[in-house]
Amino acid sequence: MKTAGFTLVELVVTIGILAILAAVAVPRFFQATTFQSRGFYDQSAAVIRLAQKTAIAWRRPVFVCVTANTVTAANDAACGPGTVLPFPVSGGIASETAPAGVTLNAVAFSFDGLGRPSIPGATITFTSTIAGDPARQITIAAETGYVSAN
């Protein structure tokens, strides 16, 4: 007579593996700050790319203002409220605010009508105090204005 089923050892090993996964992996899913930090980084790169593409389309300078906690694309160097670029599809403003624990190095630059940055090789550094969240950078190529988010 042949019986089907799991042995006690197989069940204990399976429960042990599930317990280890629950202890290690599950808390990372509930810590939303690392996901918010990465989302801010990606959205900031999108704002800078929008500024460069808008400068090329309009054939005039478009400005990027980076403070300790915001990235903004605008029509003037002051990045005032009435001059911030809109996103083409959503119509929302091209400005992103950092989540708690993330700071940026302050820098202001513009893209000319050919898409080149006014500061060759401009780099924006994202510093995070969130556990497990790495430092990140956005680099703008000197001659082409290519926005590299690594």
Asked if residue 150 has pLDDT above 80, the reply is no
pLDDT score, position 5: 86
Report which DSSP code applies to 77: T
Q: Structural domain boundaries of the chain?
A: 36-149
pLDDT in tens, 30-61: 677 888 999 999 999 999 999 999 999 999 99
Q: Are 148 and 118 in contact (CB under 8 A)?
A: no
Helix residue ranges per DSSP H, 25-120: 26-30, 32-58
pTM of the predicted protein model: 0.79
The first and second tokens of residue 36, run together, are 């918010």
What topology is assigned to 36-149 in CATH?
A: minor pseudopilin epsh fold (3.55.40)
Alpha-carbon distance of 81 to 93, in angstroms, equals 9
pLDDT in tens, 59-77: 999 999 999 999 999 999 9
